[in-house]
Amino acid sequence: MTEIPETMTAVVQTGDGYAGTSTGPAIADAALHLECARLPVPQPEQGQVLIRMRMASVNPSDLHFIKGEYGQPRIKGAPAGFEGCGDVVATGNGAESLQGRRVAFVVTVPTSGAWAEYAVTSAQTCVPLRPEISDEDGAAQIVNPMTAMAMVDIARADGDAFVVSAATSQLGKLMCALGRDLGLKPIALVRRTEAVGIVKRAGAAEVLLTTAPDVMDQFASLSRQMKPRVFLDAVSDQLSEQIFAAMPKDARWISYGKLSAEPPKLTQMGQLIFMGKRIEGFWLTRWMQTTPPEGQARVAAEVQARFADGRWTTDVSARLRLDDVVSGLAKALEKTDGKVMIIP
């Protein structure tokens, strides 16, 4: 058994609380929000585990968070990073069954983070990984895949066609693939011409280019034909509002991301009154708080089965060592088709 050191390297937040801004997940220079530090290795308390990190993913939520623009406050000096995979090397009372297991996890302890050599989290968020799951897939096993499963579940309860924005995102591709496998018809929105074929192959029934001058005419025609009632939207800008306005009665605009910094203006309030349309949000954290453990376990098992047999894979665009995160993160994020992974 390898000894656990007293201190570790971590990428920590330099900001505290909320920034009061809304600038989207783009990062110009990670040194504005993060620094590399030596910290004591955290100790697991009751129901918690200590994980030696193998790999951590960089999600848009991490970028919103370190900028102080996410749904929970930053803690200055605490490591960043919500998600990753690693080996359980110590456990608190009640979590002994996870000792020695390789797990996927999200961090639930606000003073801990996955962009570090070690992280502590609640044992409940840990998913023991099957041997055939790679560390790359393990490090991106929860946030996007669980969200994809939960949101496609919402969509399928409301008809067979649904709309997905930012469909080149990892989550967008997972939802297109899942939708196709369930016999649904995902209508994908992308902003780059090169992405059309990629998203079509991923499982979209239709792909629209948001930069096309006639995109709204194309969407209106598809909407009349396919009658999508759910819009799963990660962009949440003015075009999103127009898409929602062109959807049929009873349509639901479910905003789950804010990739665009543009605040949309509502132009069709009457549709909420006379057409039964609704605007909602989705946050995995709330879903986890409100979905019974057996429901979550079913979703986690299905997620892992899909990665194990190759129906889902994690595209990796870059790998960064912990020591290089502050200087290299902004550059690594420039390539948008895939995840940046952090390795201790």
Ligand X SMILES: NC(=O)c1ccc[n+]([C@@H]2O[C@H](COP(=O)([O-])OP(=O)(O)OC[C@H]3O[C@@H](n4cnc5c(N)ncnc54)[C@H](OP(=O)(O)O)[C@@H]3O)[C@@H](O)[C@H]2O)c1
Q: Which residues are at the interface with ligand X (CB under 6 A)?
A: 59-61, 143-144, 147, 166, 168-171, 191-192, 195, 234-235, 256-257, 259-260, 282-284, 336-337
CB of 260 to ligand X, least distance (A): 4
CB of 107 to ligand X, least distance (A): 15
Q: Which of 53, 124, 45, 49 is nearest to 91 (CA)?
A: 49
CB-nearer residue toward ligand X: 98 or 239: 239
The neighbour count for residue 305, using CB atoms within 10 Å, is 12
Q: Which of 189, 144, 183 is nearest to 161 (CA)?
A: 183
CB of 36 to ligand X, least distance (A): 23
CB of 192 to ligand X, least distance (A): 4
CB-nearer residue toward ligand X: 58 or 120: 58
CB-nearer residue toward ligand X: 10 or 143: 143
CB of 83 to ligand X, least distance (A): 9
CB-nearer residue toward ligand X: 173 or 229: 173
The CA radius of gyration of the chain, in Å to the nearest whole number, is 20
- Name, in order, each residue with C-beta under 8 angstroms of 316's C-beta and a sequence gap of 6 or more: 136, 338, 339, 340, 341
CB of 90 to ligand X, least distance (A): 29
Dihedral sign (CA 181, 184, 188, 193): positive
Orientation of helix 143-156 relative to helix 170-181, angle to 10°? 40
Residue 159 Cα to chain centre, angstroms = 24
CB-nearer residue toward ligand X: 105 or 118: 105
- Name, in order, each residue with C-beta under 8 angstroms of 176's C-beta and a sequence gap of 6 or more: 164, 167, 186, 188, 199, 202, 203, 204
The tokens describing 83, both together, are 């998600």
The tokens describing 153, both together, are 């579940």
CB-nearer residue toward ligand X: 275 or 318: 318
CB-nearer residue toward ligand X: 129 or 175: 175
CB of 237 to ligand X, least distance (A): 7
Residue nearest to ligand X (CB): 257
